Amino acid sequence: KLTSREFHPQDTVVDVDGVKIGDGSFVTMAGPCSVEGEEQIMETARMAKAGGATILRGGAYKPRTSPYAFQGLGEEGLKIMRKAADAYGLKVITEVMDEAHIDVVCEYADIIQIGARNMQNFRLLEAVGKTGKPIGLKRGISGTIQEWLNAAEYIAVQGNSKIIFIERGIRTYETATRNTFDLSAVPLIKKLSHFPIIVDPSHGTGVWDLVGPMARAGVASGADGMIVEIHPDPLHAWSDGEQSLNEKNYLKMMEEVNILVDAM
Ligand code: PEP
Ligand code: MN
């Protein structure tokens, strides 16, 4: 298989326009769950940069559990996220949910995110594979490691070798956390595949004060980076406020993470 370590023994480094993922550094992607408006995304980009993130995250097309919940700003959201990222010298990662939006997302984003709910949307995987863009592939809500690897294979078989695995927790019987963050996936994916893997302690736990400890554990597990939700005012965030870090807590987390990164 194209994604297997056997096929390609060396680590693959995904180069996002100069930001390298999988080269031994620890890359941080930070930003709001949803892009809410220009002022919010500008302020969040400033925060992200101040903490040392190099990639801005943010959803413009949101996979919400309820059809009545905020669905995202669409192209307007992409536009202002690009503007904010450029203002602070950041790259952009954002989710695409639908084949119909691939072209517009490619216009504004540097990395296409495939959300957990679409890990096995095979036609979507093929379509994003064809774009040649770096793809951040989240683990499915109840995805096994083998299913996740096969999902990546759907992308790779299209000639795309810029895949970044994202461990974001899986559903188990536990309800005290939003998901069960499966850190063993990091060394396991590294053993089975040559592509980089980053962790998402925000969706992995769903609880803001668990994010820092699990981010640190992510570094210790050998992850190539993390994607984390931050917000200037988490209490009033339009989505995932309960797992988003405010500026003070984000900066504190980054300080602690950097100590571990330097020690690794
Ligand atoms: C997100 O990144 O905001 C998101 C919806 O994540 P997931 O697909 O992992 O639930
Ligand atoms: Mn979210």
Q: What does the pLDDT look like over 164-177, one tens digit per residue?
A: 999 999 999 999 99
**Farthest CA pair distance, the chain:** 48
Give the ligand whose atoms come closest to the C-alpha of residue 137: 1
What does the pLDDT look like over 80-91, one tens digit per residue? Answer: 999 999 999 999
pLDDT-derived band at 220 (thresholds 50, 70, 90) equals very high
Pocket test for ligand 1, best of 35, 81, 95 (most atoms within 8 A of CB): 95
Section 170-187 average pLDDT: 98
String of DSSP letters for 196-219? -EEE-HHHHH--HHHHHHHHHHHH
Rounded to the nearest whole angstrom, what is the distance from the C-alpha of residue 38 to the centroid of ligand 2?
18
Nearest-atom number in ligand 1 for the CA of 138 is: 9
Q: What is the mean pLDDT of the chain?
A: 98
**Ligand 1 site residues, Cβ closer than 6 angstroms:** 33, 59, 63, 115-117, 138, 168, 203
Rounded to the nearest whole angstrom, what is the distance from the C-alpha of residue 74 to the centroid of ligand 1?
16
The residue nearest atom 8 of ligand 1, judged by CA position, is 115
What does the pLDDT look like over 40-85, one tens digit per residue? Answer: 999 999 999 999 999 999 999 999 999 999 999 999 999 999 999 9
In the chain, what are the domains?
A: 14-263 (3.20.20.70)
